[in-house]
Every structure is written in structure tokens, then in C-alpha cells.
């Protein structure tokens, strides 16, 4: 009874429009230098002459943006236990400096056991030109109503 | 003829042992504050009283570590065009502060077209106790021999 959304409160078909986030070239390069240092992510000069015609964001960076939008838009109000994983994660178009990414989530399945529920969702993000840049299905475990240990103080 | 490994050089069954990387609590919290600000990733005190008994790394952080190990161990020597995506990505055990993560990759399929090849791989990482923390299948596109535009100067 902590006011958070539990597995009991979700159903297949529930849809949430997420917020948006814009990536600068500096952010794309800085993320990739740490986690995905391939030249087409980290070297604007080299990338300008390469296949993509400029740096593109690491797919991991793109997924991190989607996760952040999900936290801000849904998980911060859900009684989450942990994420289980992603299925059919596809980087469907390059993410370039200055792109503004906007996401959406549709619940596709909720299955309940004694204390927990497994929630499956289809997710996508698109850029300012309505080009889809990533699609995936994500599975997360939530507490059922009355079972959340959640954060102390909740 | 740039000395990099092309799609022609890879076959199903090829196996690569990746390096390792250790995550501190400070790194786990800092990554999550930016990309996955859920309390069980960002608040050690609250998390100590929660389901996981302490902070656990964001799954996105775990995947970022795997990607970095892949760049250092394989992609930096491969003529990569871009990653296509991940399938059946599963976070199979919590990653905790101080865990040292070590990865491995096995090529499962190579399919060639005129200029490019699609390379599918099974990947995993395990911790210092040999507990597997993430498993996935990843697909990446590589240039075929003689077709790489690759980085200027390569």
C-alpha cells in the first residue's frame, strides 16, 4: 500500500508515451569512449569519411536513453524488483548528433504468481523525423499489491 | 587489405575469451544516476534494506561492460560496419560492487552477401565466482575482404 503501481495494476494493452532526450556529438563521443570505443562512434573526422557519414551513437547508448526514459516515465512509479532482460533488440536506424529521441511502451503480457508479477512490454524510440531507431521487448518483475518490500521509507 | 578481420575470416565455432573489468560501488551508482536511476541501483543505504541486500548494477551498465570487453577483445580488430542488435538478452544474476566480470564469445553463424557479412555470436559474462551474470546473442555486420571502407588511414 505504498502508492506505487504494482503488477496487479497493469494489463496487456496499457500504453505509455515516454518523454524525450536529445544527444549531442559530445555526449555520443564521451559515452562511446568509455563503453564502445569504435571509430565510427568516437572520431567525428574519421567517421565523416566512413560508411555512416559521421559519428553515430553506440547502440548501448541508445538503449541507455530508452532505459532513462522508461525510468522517468514508468519505473519511477512502479514497484520494480528487477529487469529480466530484452528480446529482439534491434537498432533500426542510426542515431546522430542532435537527434531527439522519444519513446513509447505497450504492455503485452502480465503474469502473476504469489508475490510477484512478470510484465512484458514492447518498446520503441523514434527520432524527430519519426524514424524508428530502436525496437525491443522487455521483461521486468514487479511486486504484487501488498508484497512490495520496495525502498525503506516508501 | 587493411589487416583487419573481415566477415570472410570468421566461421561458426570460432571462440574468443574476452578480458575482464571490475565495477566499484561508485561506478555502479554513477552510471545508474545518469541512465537508470532506480533506488536499488543508486541508493546503497536504501538498497541494503531491499530485496537485493545492496545496490546492484543496472542491466544497461552490465551490457555496457560486455560491449567494452567485446571492443577491446574483438571489434577493435574486426572491420565492423554496425551492430544490428541483441537477442534473448538475460540478466541471470545480480552484479554487485567489487564484482569482476569476464566475458566470452562464440561465433554461431556467418552469412555473406556481395560486400558484407552478417555475423551472429553467443556471448556471456560471469563473475569471480563463475556465476553467469548475462547471456545474449548478438548480430553485427562486417565488411567482406576488399570491401571495407573502414576508417580513413586504415
Average pLDDT over residues A120-129: 98
The full set of domains in chain B, from first to last, is 7-143 (3.10.129.10)
Inspect the interface and report whether the beta carbons of A85 and B84 lie closer than 8 Å.
no
A13: distance to nearest CA of chain B, Å? 23
User: What is the model's pLDDT at position A51?
Assistant: 86
What is the pLDDT averaged over residues A119-125? 98
Which of A36, A85, A152 has the CB atom closest to B89's CB atom?
Answer: A85
- Candidates B55, B72, B151: best to mutate against A (most CBs of A within 10 A) is B151
Shortest distance between the Cα of B31 and any Cα of chain A, in A, equals 10
Q: Residue A148 — very low, low, confident or very high, per pLDDT cuts 50/70/90?
A: confident
In this predicted structure, which of A118-127, B69-78, B144-153 has the lowest mean pLDDT? B144-153
> Which backbone phi and psi does A44 adopt, to 5 degrees?
-55, -40
Q: List CB contacts (< 8 A) between B137 and chain A.
A: none
User: Looking at the predicted structure, is the pLDDT value of residue B151 above 60?
Assistant: no
ipTM above 0.90, yes or no: yes
pLDDT at site A1: 43
Confidence band of A150 (pLDDT split at 50, 70, 90):
low
Q: In Å, how far is B27's CA from the nearest CA of chain A?
A: 12
Amino acid at each position: 500500500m505504498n502508492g506505487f503501481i504494482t503488477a496487479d495494476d497493469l494489463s496487456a494493452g496499457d500504453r505509455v508515451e515516454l518523454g524525450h532526450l536529445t544527444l549531442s556529438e559530445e555526449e555520443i563521443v564521451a559515452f562511446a569512449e568509455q563503453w564502445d570505443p569504435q571509430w565510427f562512434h568516437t572520431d567525428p573526422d574519421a567517421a565523416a569519411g566512413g560508411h555512416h557519414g559521421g559519428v553515430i551513437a553506440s547502440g548501448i547508448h541508445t538503449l541507455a536513453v530508452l532505459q532513462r526514459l522508461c525510468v522517468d516515465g514508468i519505473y519511477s512509479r512502479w514497484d520494480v524488483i528487477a529487469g529480466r532482460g530484452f528480446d529482439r533488440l534491434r537498432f533500426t536506424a542510426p542515431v546522430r548528433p542532435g537527434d531527439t529521441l522519444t519513446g513509447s511502451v505497450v504492455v503485452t503480457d502480465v503474469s502473476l504468481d504469489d508475490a510477484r508479477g512478470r510484465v512484458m512490454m514492447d518498446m520503441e524510440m523514434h527520432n524527430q523525423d519519426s524514424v524508428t531507431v530502436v525496437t525491443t521487448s522487455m521483461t521486468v518483475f514487479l511486486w504484487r499489491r501488498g508484497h512490495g518490500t520496495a525502498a525503506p521509507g516508501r
